[in-house]
Amino acid sequence: MRLNKQIPQNRISILTLDDDPIITSTIQAYFKRSGYQVDVENNPYTAIERVRTGNYDILLLDFLMAPICGDHVVEEIRKFNQDLFIILLTGHKSMAPPVKTIRQLDIQGYYEKNDRFDQLELLVESCVKSIKQMRTIRKYKSDLEKAYMQTIEILRHVVESRDKATKGHSERVALLAKELAEEMQLSSDDVEMIHVAGLFHDVGKIGIPDSILLKNGPLTKEEFQIIKGHPAEGERIIMSYAPFKKLLNIVRGHHERYNGTGYPDGKSGEDICLGARVIAVADSFDAMMSNRTYRKGLGLDTALNELEKGRGTQFDPNIVDAFMKLVEKNGRANFERMYGYTAQ
C-alpha cells in the first residue's frame, strides 16, 4: 500500500456515495489522512441535492445502488454541474458501465472495490491535478479580466473627466436604464446587462479630440461624423473582454433610432437590440436634464415632452410609455432632485 502523503490539497472537497455505510466510512477515513475534506452519503437522492447546494470537487459513487444506480445519479448531476470530477466504484469489472456511457456522462474513471485502495488514490490524485490546473487557468483568466475591466473603467472616467458638464452621466444613465428595465419587468440577467452597458455606453468617446468633444457650439458636418464613430469605437474597446460580449450590440446601437435614421448602422424597430433601445431613452433624458456649457438643463416637463415627441421616430413607443410610468411611480420631484435643480 502506498503511504498517504501528509500534504495540503488546497481544500479539495470529496463526496463519497455508496449505499453501504462501511464503504463510505472506510473511504472517508482513508482520504482524510491525506488531507482531503471528505463527506459521506448513503442516499442517492440526498447526494444529488448535496452536490447541487454544496461545493464539491470530486464525487466517488457506487455504480450499483438502490433505489437508483450510479449512472442515473450522474445523469441528474450533469444537468446542473459539468465541472464535478466523478469516479465510479464497481464490485467487479464486469459490472462497470459501457465505455460509451462513461464518455457521455463525462466520468473520469472507475475503480473496482476489490483493488487496493492506492489504485483509487491514483485516480483521485489525477483528478486533483486537473482541478488545480483548472483553478490556475481560471485565476489567470480572472486576473486578466479584472485588469481589462479596470482599464475600461479608467477609460470611462477619463472621458468624463475631460468634460465637466458630463460628469456622472454614465452613472445616471446606468441607474435610469436599470430602473427602466425593471419597470419593463425584464429578466434579472437583462436588467444587470443593461445596467452595465449604461456605465460603458460612451467609452468610445475616448478617441474624440477635445476640440470636438468640448466644443461650445454647433458641430460641423465633418465633426459630427467623428462623433458618430464613438458607438463603434466603444464596441471595439470592450469586445476583447469576454464577459462584455453580450453588451456589444447595446453599446454599438445606443444611438440608433426607431425609424432607422440613427447611427452607426441605420437599424430600425426591433432590429435594434432591446438593451440599446432602453439606453437610448435613458441617455437622451439625462442629456436633456443636464446642464451643458452652452445651455441650462431643459427641465422635467420639457424633457418628458421631447420623449413623447420622439415616440415611434427616435424611441421605441413601449419604452417611452414605461419611462413615463417610472417617473410617475418614483415621483417627479425625485427626478428633479436627481439633477439638483428645477428647470426655469
Q: Which residues are catalytic?
A: 205
Task: Please write down the long-range contacts of 159-162, taking CB distance under 8 Å and 24 or more positions apart.
Answer: 159/202, 159/203, 159/205, 159/206, 162/210, 162/213, 162/214
Task: Give the DSSP letter of residue 243.
Answer: G
- What is the signed CA dihedral for 288, 290, 294, 298, rounded to 10 degrees? 50
Element (H, E) at 187: none
Q: How far apart are CA 134 and CA 306, in angstroms?
A: 53
Q: How far apart are CA 281 and CA 283, in angstroms?
A: 6
Beta bridge partners of 16: 40, 60
Give the type of residue at 33.
Answer: R
* Residue carrying the nine cell digits 441535492: 49
What phi and psi, each to the nearest 5 degrees, are found at residue 132?
-65, -40
Q: CB under 8 Å to 207, separation ≥6 — which residues? A: 229, 230, 233
